[in-house]
């Protein structure tokens, strides 16, 4: 197989439409142009809190795979920093929810969220190779980074009260974290068999589809 060195770039080119669908979703474009409906934002806040909690065991499973399978101990340091960020994030969701009057304990997860959390659980299986799982982790984080960074670019009209949310994932430190994850994924994909490569490509597409469904759920009237 030719050119295994930048698999992520190859796949992003190949699956550009779905990637753009996930990172430039109307939900994000509506934050960026200031037309976001606050009930949609609150729905996102409540549902994402559930998703972020489900991300903790997911990231823990990746930490375990890195410990077992990686040849580079700095992988673990980065993944551990991702876990620490989730801890801060959970505290942030609680304070943000109380600011917006959203009662997190009574939130019922919607179908798209349940489906996505079930998908995360499937990737936690010990049968899923590290290269595949880290590709999924990168994609999950990259979608949020690219989406929220877009809301902070010059010319955006993001409402003042939503800027802190956009900063959470749109900041340059998180951008660097995503680039480091991408480098780790590329390095492991380079050594992977064709079978593992095709599994990683499928996982990447699944993540992007789940992200689109998640935004759809937040935008909808349900």
Ligand X SMILES: Cc1ncc(CNC=O)c(N)n1
Q: Which of 29, 70, 56 is nearest to 117 (CA)?
A: 56
Least CB distance to ligand X at residue 185 (A): 15
- Kindly give the interhelix angle for 74-100 and 172-190, rounded to the nearest 10 degrees: 140
- Residue 214 near ligand X by CB under 6 A: yes
Which among 89, 211, 213, 221 is annotated as catalytic? Answer: 211
| Residue 161 annotated as catalytic | no
Least CB distance to ligand X at residue 35 (A): 21
Asked if 137 contacts 120 with a C-beta cutoff of 8 angstroms, the reply is: no
CA distance 19 to 38: 25
CB-count burial class (<10 Å; 0-12, 13-18, 19+) for 36: buried
Least CB distance to ligand X at residue 207 (A): 8
Count of Cβ atoms closer than 10 Å to residue 71 Cβ = 8
- Residue 129 near ligand X by CB under 6 A: no
If the CB atoms of residues 3 and 173 are measured against ligand X, the closer one turns out to be: 173
The interface region with ligand X, picked from 5-13, 48-56, 70-78, 172-180 by CB under 6 A, is 48-56
CA distance 173 to 145: 10
- Residue 146 near ligand X by CB under 6 A: no
Least CB distance to ligand X at residue 66 (A): 18
- Residue whose Cβ sits closest to ligand X: 144
CA distance 167 to 18: 24
Supply the residues annotated as catalytic. Answer: 211
Binding site for ligand X (CB under 6 A): 48, 51-52, 55, 89, 140-141, 143-144, 211, 214
């Amino acid at each position: 197989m030719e050119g295994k060195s930048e698999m992520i770039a190859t796949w992003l080119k190949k699956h550009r439409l779905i990637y753009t669908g996930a990172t430039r979703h109307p939900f994000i474009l509506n934050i960026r142009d200031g037309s976001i409906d606050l009930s949609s934002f609150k729905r996102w806040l409540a549902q994402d809190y559930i998703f972020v909690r489900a991300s903790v065991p997911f990231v823990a499973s990746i930490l375990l795979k890195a410990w077992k399978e990686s040849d580079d101990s700095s992988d673990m340091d980065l993944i551990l920093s991702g876990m620490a960020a989730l801890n801060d994030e959970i505290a942030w969701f609680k304070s943000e929810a109380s600011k917006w009057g959203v009662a997190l304990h009574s939130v019922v997860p919607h179908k798209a969220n349940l489906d996505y959390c079930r998908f995360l659980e499937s990737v936690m299986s010990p049968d899923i190779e590290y290269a595949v799982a880290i590709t999924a982790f990168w994609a999950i984080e990259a979608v949020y980074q690219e989406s929220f960074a877009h809301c902070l670019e010059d010319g955006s009209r993001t409402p003042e009260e939503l800027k802190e949310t956009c900063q959470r994932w749109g900041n340059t430190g998180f951008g660097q974290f995503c680039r480091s994850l991408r480098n780790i994924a590329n390095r492991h994909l380079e050594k992977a068999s064709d079978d593992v490569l095709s599994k990683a490509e499928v996982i990447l597409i699944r993540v992007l589809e789940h992200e689109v469904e998640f935004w759809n759920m937040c935008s909808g009237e349900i």
